[in-house]
Structure formats: structure tokens, C-alpha cells
Amino acid sequence: MLTYNSLLESELKKLIYEHIQRATEQITSPVGVKDFAEYKQTVGKIMGLQLAVELAEEAHRLVQTKE
């Protein structure tokens, strides 16, 4: 059984991964990015979202060790 926090974490990760997928598709699409600055911005967003997932996982590990 999932607790509220586990469910929230799971759904948040799904949403983040979906956003990463859309941004990745934008980069790989021939009409997705118009110039190098937009490409860099999109890559930065992807990296930031990946970092958010990593930090959420690290926070989850820290909470588990305190229980």
C-alpha cells in the first residue's frame, strides 16, 4: 500500500519525466529549436529536471535512514 507521500513522490517523478521527454523531443525535432541559445536553454531545463529527480531520491534515502 502506498502512503500519501509515496504516491505524491511517484506522481511527481512521472510528471517530471514526461516534461523531460517533451523537452528532449523538442531538441530532436527539426523544427523544435530555432537557435543555439534556445537549445542551451532547453538542455539546461532538462538537466535541472534530472537534478530535481536525483535530489528527491536522495531526500527519500535520507528519510529512510532516519526511520
Question: Tell me: the pLDDT tens digits for 26-38?
Answer: 999 888 888 999 9
Please choose, from the candidates 63, 31, 61, 32, the residue with its C-alpha nearest in 3D space to the C-alpha of residue 46: 32
Which sequence spans correspond to the domains of the chain? 4-66
- Model pLDDT for residues 7-58, shown as the tens digit of each residue: 888 899 999 999 999 999 999 988 888 899 999 999 999 999 999 999 999 9
Q: Which residues contact 56 (CB under 8 A, 6 or more apart)?
A: 9, 12, 13
How far is 16 from 46, CA to CA, in rounded Å? Answer: 9
